[in-house]
Each structure stands twice: as C-alpha cells, then as structure tokens.
Homo-oligomer: A and B are copies of this chain.
Amino acid sequence: MLEDKRKFIAVIGGGQPTSKEAKLAEKVGRELARSGAILVCGGLSGVMEAACKGASAEGGMTIGILPGENRRLANPHVQIPIATGIGYARNAAVVKSAQAVIAVGGSYGTLTEIGYALQTGIPVIGLNTWTISRNAKQDKSIIPAESAAEAVAIALELAVD
C-alpha cells in the first residue's frame, strides 16, 4: 500500500478561522507536503481550505472527505474529493482515515473530531485548539505544539500504523 511509505495526516479545524489560524493551517499543509505526507481533511472552507492550499502549493496530495453528496463542493485545492453524503457524521471518517491528527483552532465540529480520534487511539496534536478536563483535571491527550513545523514533526513521529 501507498501508505506504507507515505503517512496520512488529518488537519482539522473550523470553517471560519481567524486569519492567524488560517495562516497556521496553510503552513501545516506546506510542511506536510514537504515531508511527503498525504493531507486528509473535511474538504470544505476555512482551516480545511487553507491546509489544502498550502499542501497543493508544495505539490502534495490532498483528500477531502465531504459531508455532502456533491463532490464538486470540495474546496478548489482538494484533489481527491470523497462525497460521503452522511453530513457531519463524516467527522469520524476524517480522523479514522488518518494516522495522526493536527487540530488548528477549532469549533464544536473540531471537538467531535478530537473525541473520535482519541477514542480510536489516533494521536491529536493541537495548535491553539480545545483543552478538555474532567473532575477539574486536564486530560493531557491533546498534545500542544508551538508552531506548524513542530506540529507536523510530532504528527509524523507519533503516526500510528
């Protein structure tokens, strides 16, 4: 399989990021492509589009797992659009199709993706994203990174088989 050689890394985040978050996502996309990784995302706008734009600019491959059933609604930087037609239930598929996940900023949809990844044992690296706690104790499963380059380095290192 291709993925024996190339890692599949998901980039997750909201459709309406701050401009700082969008720039961060684009850098993550660039770094992933430079590392030879394949970018998996939800295929829509915001963080997803910025990451795909960055990856495409570096010649990387981009996969967009869409909520709708129209493959043409993928952002213009998605090369492989998957039209699931299952709505936001597709959030599970986005992370499970990856070997590690990088969360940039984040909305409630991102929170569902983080939950699905952690449930399945897929590492989550966070850039300015959610922190989660239970019984006044922070759950440290979301690994914080300080920069796009660091996030990508950690994701590639921790990527599960």
Contact = CB atoms under 8 A, between A and B. Distances in A.
A41 B32 CA distance: 26
- Chain A binding surface, main DSSP class: mixed
Specify how many copies of this chain sit in the oligomer: 4
A91 B132 CA distance: 19
A71 B7 CA distance: 12
Interface residues of A, number: 53
Interface in A50-88: 63, 65, 69, 71-72, 74, 76, 78-88
B85 A93 contact: yes
14 contacts: A63-B82, A65-B82, A85-B87, A85-B92, A85-B93, A86-B93, A87-B87, A88-B92, A89-B92, A89-B93, A106-B134, A107-B119, A130-B132, A131-B136
